[in-house]
Amino acid sequence: MAEKKLSFAIFGNDRQAKESASIAEQLKCFANRNAEIYMEESFYIALKKAMRRDLDVNSVFEGSNFEADYAVSMGGDGTFLKAARFVGPKNIPIIGVNMGRLGFLANVLPDEIPSMLNDVYAGNFDIDERAVIKLESENEQIKAYPYALNDIAILKRDMASMISIHTSINDEYLVTYKADGLIVSTPTGSTAYSLSNGGPIMVPQSGILSLTAVAPHSLNIRPVVISDEDVIKLEVESRSHNYLVAIDGRSEKLKEGTTVTIRKAPFRIRILKPRGHHYFPTLRSKMMWGADTRE
């Protein structure tokens, strides 16, 4: 019986094009399965320039203008977040190939691609569904893609003084953060920017969000964990009369007085992972979590 035909939309980091020989070998693994290969345009152009020849792909696409059975992220976690942004509500699984260093989201090593493809074609894998959050504004249009897999951060601009962030949960006043910023993080993002600011590690599927201040100007402000069904409303005061909002690291300037709302998105990002792959071993190995340096 002929093997089923599958299609893969491939995303990459343009800077990874310098590893073109390695990436070419990885692409061969897909070609050997007679898969249809679609490649994101900027990555294709960077690879073509590095390899000085055309690549054997079925087509090139821009942004989210594609249809495929699976998306493949070739890079680190930043590349994975880009792929997740373009996959959005398409409901297709993302395969993260770790070409970087830490690779918390990208959990497949390059030399594991053949065995990963064997599992994909055999249906021998698990799907890890991750919550996404959305930024909305009442009085100013958000130009950037409004969904975040990791976090949404409200931040002061450059060398401006601290900002005041009036925060309500489900229309009930919580507190006014006087700080350099505030990070609203999903469990997926809890091991990223939020963690570096003292936020809690949250296990995927826990159905919660965290609010963590950036450099708070009061020692009695601590991270708060809430349900991901809650709606967060933020109004910012700033001496510079504007502030930044960063959606998975993509920054946009908003005017003072702009009220923003953060809520759970109506879709999830689906991450393909090898069967038997568990979160806690990854936490220990990637983050050196719980390691005793005395041993």
Express each pLDDT in 202-211 by its tens digit: 999 999 999 9
What confidence score (pLDDT) does residue 2 get?
57
Give the list of residues 6+ apart from residue 229 with CB closer than 8 angstroms, or none: 207, 264
In a domain, 287, yes or no: no
Same domain, 202 and 235: yes
What sign does the dihedral 45-47-50-51 (CA atoms) show?
A: negative
Q: Supply the residues annotated as catalytic.
A: 77
User: Side chain identity at 266, as an amino acid letter?
Assistant: P
Same domain, 110 and 142: no
Residues in the chain: 295
Same domain, 158 and 251: yes
Q: Which of 94, 123, 152 is the last residue in one of the domains?
A: 123
For 288, phi and psi rounded to 5 degrees? 55, 35
In a domain, 168, yes or no: yes
**Which stretches within the chain are classed as H helix?**
20-32, 41-51, 77-87, 113-122, 193-196, 279-287
What confidence score (pLDDT) does residue 291 get?
72
Token pair in block for residue 93: 């699984």
**pTM of this prediction?**
0.93
CA-CA distance, 153 to 182, in Å (whole number)?
6
CATH code, 60: 3.40.50.10330
What confidence score (pLDDT) does residue 126 get?
93
In a domain, 285, yes or no: no
Same domain, 231 and 156: yes
What confidence score (pLDDT) does residue 83 get?
97
Q: Which of 123, 147, 167 is the last residue in one of the domains?
A: 123
In a domain, 290, yes or no: no
In a domain, 28, yes or no: yes
Same domain, 255 and 136: yes
Same domain, 156 and 256: yes
Name beta bridge partners: 11: 73
Same domain, 136 and 108: no
In a domain, 80, yes or no: yes
Decide: helix, strand or coil at residue 285: helix
In a domain, 291, yes or no: no
What confidence score (pLDDT) does residue 295 get?
63
**Do 32 and 150 form a contact (C-beta atoms < 8 A)?**
no
Same domain, 115 and 239: no
Give the list of residues 6+ apart from residue 75 with CB closer than 8 angstroms, or none: 11, 12, 13, 16, 97, 99, 100, 106
In a domain, 72, yes or no: yes
Q: What is the largest CA-CA distance in the chain?
A: 69
Same domain, 79 and 22: yes
The structural domain count of the chain equals 2
Low-confidence ranges of the chain (pLDDT < 70): 1-2, 17-18, 100-102, 294-295
Containing domain of residue 213, as a range? 132-266
What confidence score (pLDDT) does residue 142 get?
86
What sign does the dihedral 261-263-267-270 (CA atoms) show?
A: positive
What confidence score (pLDDT) does residue 12 get?
92
Same domain, 21 and 78: yes
